[in-house]
Amino acid sequence: MTMGRVRQPWLVVLLLLGTLSYALAEDVTLTTYYPSPRGVYNELRANTAKIEGDLIVNGNTLLGNETSDTLTFQAGTLTIPNGLAVDGQTLVLDAQANRVGFGTWTPENTIDVAGGMVVGAAYAGNSATPAPANGLLVEGTVGIGTATPGATLPGTKLEVGGTTLTDTLALVPQAVPPPQPAEGMLYFNQAGGKLYLFANGEWRTLAQAMNQLVAKRTLPADFHFNSSFQYVIGGGAGGLCTPHSQVGTSSSGCLWLTVTLPYPGIYQVSWSGQVSVEAKPGYPLGIQAVSGGPFVGTGIDWSSYTDPTGLDGTPSTYSFSGSKIVYFNQLAADVSITGGGITQFDPSKTKVHAGATLVLESVLPF
């Protein structure tokens, strides 16, 4: 009995020393042969943890609990098979669809950017070069449809390989020609208000007179129709209008506009006036701007006017106007306004009113 009492205190001391030595240990190795006494470790804490082999975590994982923490991957490859979202919508990787989104949860293309973007070392991170709203700011050269932008003409900022379609093209006026011209280059001269083309080693005026008035004719009195097709407005000598079948003749002194152009090229024909129609319903009067001169096409424009009230003695009156761009390939040209294509009408009341005009202006020479 006495011996038994002596051994119990020593046994307690040995157990306490063993527990203390375990608590003071810095390195702990957990293997499949060292399971948790309860089957699951609820919490493991360590200043430094080294894992030999694979780490598989089921459930949510928090790495770095402070804003000052840094997460470093020294492995050669980081694989995220499903996806990654950084700070909400800042960066979204859709690994399954091979898409990247900046500022959007749902990228629909290989790269989607919701907002502006800058490209270039001097532009990136520079508050003085902000990107345009939902736009792109590029420091260097941009190529569209070409693998070598700027190779043909050094200093080129944008090179497009293929057809370019635009609603409007604006050239910034320049006081002097570009210092390093190349074939096909255009520039707009600020002082002279002219467009220049660099061709065959020199600058050539592309537009000698933009929208310069070439000829204008005003109908001096009301013109009443009396045949199927008749010229209404023209130029040259005054007189009666000639039937359409006599295009090009001058024996009757027709009022069509016959001119010698300053140069072959593109011209604008414009016309305006009033017309009255007294005709049977269903028989319209057509007003057409035409040209008997050497240009591409003959009819410029055609409009029809009817009299809904019919032959009741009260004509219907309309205003007409229009303009078209035409190309004359020779210096001799004539244009006119023609009316016709009408039957069963009252010639005394079907007319083009005095004051109607026909104008020819130059646009671009060739």
Give the model confidence (pLDDT) of 99-153 as tens digits.
999 998 889 999 999 999 999 999 999 999 999 999 999 999 999 999 998 888 8
DSSP state of 347: T
Q: What is the pLDDT of residue 268?
A: 81
DSSP codes joined into one string, 117-172:
EEESTTTTT-TTSPPPTT-EEESS-EEES-SSTTSSSTT-SEEE-S----S-----
* Gap between the terminal Cα atoms of the chain: 131
| 3-state secondary structure (DSSP) of residue 195 | strand
Hey, what amino acid is at 67?
Answer: T
What is this structure's pTM? Answer: 0.43
Give burial (CB, 10 Å; 0-12/13-18/19+) of 236: middle
Distance of CA 245 to the CA centre of its chain: 47
Q: What is the pLDDT of residue 257?
A: 64
CB 274 within 8 A of CB 319: yes
Q: How many residues does the chain have?
A: 366
DSSP state of 69: -
Q: What is the pLDDT of residue 290?
A: 63
Instruction: Retrieve residue 249's tokens.
Output: 């003749």
Q: What is the pLDDT of residue 120?
A: 93
CA nearest to 364, candidates 288, 261, 257: 261
Residue 334: strand pairing partners: 258
Distance CA 241, CA 226 (A): 10
pLDDT in tens, the chain (366 residues): 444 444 555 555 455 555 544 444 445 555 555 555 555 666 667 777 777 778 787 878 777 777 788 878 777 777 777 777 777 778 888 888 889 999 988 899 999 999 999 999 999 999 999 999 999 999 999 999 999 988 888 888 888 888 888 888 888 888 889 888 888 888 888 877 778 888 888 888 765 545 678 888 777 777 777 655 555 654 333 334 444 333 333 333 334 566 778 777 778 888 888 989 998 988 888 776 666 554 444 456 778 889 999 999 999 999 988 887 777 777 777 666 666 667 788 888 888 888 888 888 877 665
Q: What is the pLDDT of residue 366?
A: 56
Distance CA 225, CA 346 (A): 9
For the chain, what percent of residues have pLDDT higher than 70? 70
Distance CA 211, CA 208 (A): 10
List the domains of the chain with CATH numbers: 82-138 (no CATH), 171-206 (no CATH), 212-365 (2.60.120.40)
DSSP state of 345: B
